[in-house]
């Protein structure tokens, strides 16, 4: 009996050793940062199920996201729509905690593929409380300064990363050909060359692409940079009458020469993603245009990043939207869209796309192409090595350095359109030292109005309590001599103006905030009571009118009574930049990025058109030199106007 127990004892020891010795972990190439990215992509793709692949193609809104949803559906991306925040006045730390919570859900899946979070950082990290809000693109186009725009891109990247977000839906490289379009302020210019020059914002956002980088391959330098997104492909700024999401009627050569050049440049600079336009080209919805998305963007131009739809872009393939969603899924994915912004109805999209693949309507090769592109961007941005954000950049949000940069951008964006009733009697720059001045107008003391749309909310806001910044009124008070009495009255009547013995007046009026279709306008008028304010003030005394708007507006009826006219566009939070130039600490240097029409009946009208008869032509801008002049008695400086 004793002998028989020895083999049993030995077997027990062997079994115990097997159970207690850890098995050697499987080597997974996709987790090895030393492996080339194509090898990592292929290794991961080979391991993925159809369910996991389709999940990567889905981007959902943070309102419906959770760690559980990320894990269950293998969701590839989350976004914040305009105004979608984790809490009112949320801190950078609150944003980071939210993003990391979603990310932990993704990391807990079988393969641990990180999600990528995106946000509309279109003029700074503009959804976030205390962020620096830079001038909208139309103002930056007036600066004609690509190096400045690149710096703004780098600052925006830091402020976006400060909240734990690695993906910015910027830049908009539309060429707005009609100011009636509600997105015209998102366009740098009516001129394709200026828009092309301003793609320098991409290396600002993503980092400078190495000289030996293969053409079309996305590039992100590191943790201080973000994934950029050129949008909206293609022709979004050319729709008939400027109607948002409408039809752009233009031939192939016109599309290539006006609307496409900035995409060539974006790809050369390593842009990681491209967003598709809601609009159509010659009646073909861009979200279904395989010829332009797969044929031209991917195959001809060699774009290797991923193509993303716009918000519910597949729904809008049909009219009414979502009328035949099964068809929309098929048409959009077949066209070459890789990631679908399907904010709320993601389960329907997943089920629909799965059905199409299993029934051979959409080939697996198309799914693999989409996922390969998405994974490429995730590897490039370093998400597999650093999936969770930390607090190391929180002090970048609204930093003084960035606010000074924004202030510089405001100064360089201002365009002086009129200066005095005659060239030898200029009104600007204004003296800082005088007895009493009037500041009037609905936009003089309203941070929301001066920031415009896509600020804190999708449609923007009004008032001074939603974020941090300096209004133009506050800037004026900061700038004038302490003995100068600044009187503010939003809409004074003529009697008030005449009875107060003001030295001069500054009137700040313009458009109320708007975004996208809500901004479409067939009349382009200054918001009430702006015209009344101009008449009451400028009819009685020397006045400077500062226009806060996302585009040229009707001004000719009031021009004769206005002594000096400044186009300030949508300057953002740093209103001090306006006072810097108006009072002569810096000179006016901005040039019109688009034609200023006389009447809306002339529209569309762009430089080079045979019927070109503008109030102020493209490229116009009166220049002034800085001055230290402090009183009304000092002589005015000479000025000169110049064009492109």
Taking only the tens place, the pLDDT of each residue in 528-570 is: 999 999 999 999 999 999 999 999 999 999 999 999 999 999 9
Question: What pLDDT does 23 receive?
Answer: 58
Condensed to tens digits (0 to 9), the pLDDT of residues 56-98 reads 999 999 999 999 999 999 999 999 999 999 999 999 999 999 9
Has residue 417 got a pLDDT over 70? yes
> Cα 548 to chain center, whole Å?
19
Q: In the numeric block, which tokens belong to residue 587?
A: 């000179």
Mean pLDDT of 381-406: 98
Question: What pLDDT does 632 receive?
Answer: 39
Strand boundaries in 81-174, DSSP class E: 116-119, 167-168
Has residue 361 got a pLDDT over 90? yes
Least confident window among 24-28, 425-429, 498-502, 519-523: 24-28
Mean pLDDT of 99-104: 98
Question: What pLDDT does 422 receive?
Answer: 85
Q: Residues with Cβ < 8 Å from 251, sequence gap 6 or more?
A: none
Condensed to tens digits (0 to 9), the pLDDT of residues 607-619 reads 999 999 999 999 9
Whether 168 and 155 have beta carbons less than 8 Å apart is answered as: no
Mean pLDDT of 484-492: 98
Q: Known catalytic residue: 244?
A: no
Question: What pLDDT does 423 receive?
Answer: 78
Mean pLDDT of 491-518: 97
Q: Known catalytic residue: 93?
A: no
Query: Which residue in the list 52, 120, 338, 516 is annotated as catalytic?
Result: 516
**Residue ranges of the domains in the chain?**
51-396, 414-616
Condensed to tens digits (0 to 9), the pLDDT of residues 138-186 reads 999 999 999 999 999 999 999 999 999 999 999 999 999 999 999 999 9
Mean pLDDT of 31-54: 98
Question: What pLDDT does 4 receive?
Answer: 45
Has residue 125 got a pLDDT over 80? yes
Give 643 or 299, the one with higher predicted confidence: 299
Distance CA 399, CA 550 (A): 26
Distance CA 42, CA 267 (A): 23
Q: In the numeric block, which tokens belong to residue 417?
A: 């359109």
Mean pLDDT of 428-449: 98
Question: What pLDDT does 574 receive?
Answer: 98
Distance CA 132, CA 400 (A): 9
Q: In the numeric block, which tokens belong to residue 597?
A: 């029409």
Has residue 430 got a pLDDT over 90? yes
Query: Which residue in the list 145, 190, 244, 310 is annotated as catalytic?
Result: 310
Averaged pLDDT of the chain: 94
DSSP summary character for residue 146: H
Give me the CATH code for the 414-616 domain, please.
3.40.50.1700
Sign, CA torsion 103/109/114/118:
negative
Q: In the numeric block, which tokens belong to residue 217?
A: 């391959």
Has residue 638 got a pLDDT over 70? no
Q: What angle (nearest 5°) sits at the alpha carbon of residue 53, between those of residues 51 and 57?
A: 110
Confirm or reject CATH 3.20.20.300 for domain 51-396, answering yes or no: yes
Mean pLDDT of 39-44: 98
Question: What pLDDT does 543 receive?
Answer: 98
Distance CA 397, CA 385 (A): 24
Has residue 1 got a pLDDT over 80? no
Helix 37-47 with 364-380: angle, nearest 10 deg = 130
Has residue 14 got a pLDDT over 80? no
Mean pLDDT of 496-523: 97
Question: What pLDDT does 424 receive?
Answer: 87
Question: What pLDDT does 245 receive?
Answer: 98
Condensed to tens digits (0 to 9), the pLDDT of residues 296-309 reads 999 999 999 999 99
Within this chain, domains 51-396 and 414-616 share the same CATH topology: no
Distance CA 152, CA 161 (A): 14
- 22 confidence band (pLDDT: 50, 70, 90): low
């Amino acid at each position: 009996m004793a002998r028989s127990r020895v083999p049993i004892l030995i077997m027990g020891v062997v079994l115990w050793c097997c159970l207690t010795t850890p098995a050697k972990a499987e080597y997974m190439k996709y987790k090895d940062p030393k492996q080339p990215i194509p090898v990592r992509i292929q290794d991961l793709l080979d391991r993925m199920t159809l369910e996991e692949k389709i999940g990567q193609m889905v981007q959902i809104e943070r309102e419906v996201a959770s760690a559980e949803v990320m894990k269950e559906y293998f969701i590839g991306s989350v976004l914040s729509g305009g105004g979608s925040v984790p809490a009112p006045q949320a801190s950078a730390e609150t944003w980071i905690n939210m993003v990391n919570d979603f990310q932990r859900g993704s990391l807990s899946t079988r393969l641990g593929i990180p999600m990528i979070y995106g946000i509309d950082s279109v003029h700074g990290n503009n959804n976030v409380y205390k962020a620096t809000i830079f001038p909208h693109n139309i103002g930056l186009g007036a600066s004609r300064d690509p190096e400045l725009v690149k710096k703004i891109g780098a600052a925006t990247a830091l402020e976006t990363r400060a909240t734990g977000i690695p993906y910015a839906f910027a830049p908009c490289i539309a060429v707005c050909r009609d100011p009636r379009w509600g997105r015209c302020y998102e366009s740098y210019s009516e001129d394709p060359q200026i828009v092309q020059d301003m793609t320098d914002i991409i290396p600002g956002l993503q980092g400078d692409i190495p000289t030996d980088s293969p053409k079309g391959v996305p590039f992100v330098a590191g943790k201080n940079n973000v994934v950029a997104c050129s949008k909206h492909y293609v022709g979004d700024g050319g729709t008939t009458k400027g109607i948002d999401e409408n039809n752009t009627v233009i031939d192939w050569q016109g599309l290539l020469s006006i609307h496409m050049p900035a995409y060539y440049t974006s790809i050369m600079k390593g842009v990681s993603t491209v967003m598709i336009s809601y609009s159509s080209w010659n009646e073909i919805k861009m979200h279904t245009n395989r010829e332009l998305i797969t044929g031209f963007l991917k195959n001809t131009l060699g774009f290797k990043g991923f193509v993303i739809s716009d918000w519910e872009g597949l729904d809008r393939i049909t009219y009414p939207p979502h009328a035949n969603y099964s068809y929309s899924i098929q048409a959009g994915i077949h066209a070459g869209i890789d990631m679908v912004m399907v904010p709320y109805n993601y389960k329907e999209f997943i089920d629909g796309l799965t059905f199409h693949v299993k029934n051979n309507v959409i080939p697996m090769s198309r799914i693999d192409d989409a996922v390969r592109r998405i994974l490429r961007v995730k590897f490039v941005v370093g998400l597999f090595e650093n999936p969770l954000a930390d607090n190391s950049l929180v002090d970048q949000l609204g930093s003084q350095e960035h606010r000074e940069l924004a202030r510089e951008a405001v100064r360089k964006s201002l365009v002086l359109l009129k200066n005095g009733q005659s060239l030898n009697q200029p009104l600007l720059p204004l003296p800082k030292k005088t007895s009493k001045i009037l500041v009037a107008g609905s936009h003089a003391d309203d941070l929301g109005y001066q920031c415009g749309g896509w600020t804190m909310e999708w449609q923007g806001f009004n008032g001074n309590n939603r974020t941090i910044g300096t209004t133009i009124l506050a800037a004026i008070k900061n700038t004038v001599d302490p003995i100068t009495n600044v009187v503010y009255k939003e809409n004074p009547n003529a009697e008030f103006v005449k009875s107060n013995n003001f030295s001069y007046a500054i009137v700040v009026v313009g458009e109320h905030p708007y975004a996208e279709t809500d901004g479409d306008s067939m009349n382009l008028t200054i918001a009430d009571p702006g015209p009344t304010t101009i008449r009451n003030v400028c009819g009685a005394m020397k006045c400077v009118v500062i226009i806060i708007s996302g585009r040229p507006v009707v001004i000719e009826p009031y021009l004769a009574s206005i002594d000096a006219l400044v186009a300030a566009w949508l300057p953002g939070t740093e209103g001090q930049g306006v006072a810097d130039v108006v009072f002569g600490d810096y000179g006016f240097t901005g040039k019109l990025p688009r034609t200023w029409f006389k009447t809306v009946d002339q529209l569309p009208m762009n430089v080079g058109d045979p019927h070109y008869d503008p109030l102020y032509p493209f490229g116009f801008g009166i220049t002034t030199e800085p001055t230290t002049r402090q009183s009304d008695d000092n002589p005015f400086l000479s000025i000169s106007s110049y064009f492109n």
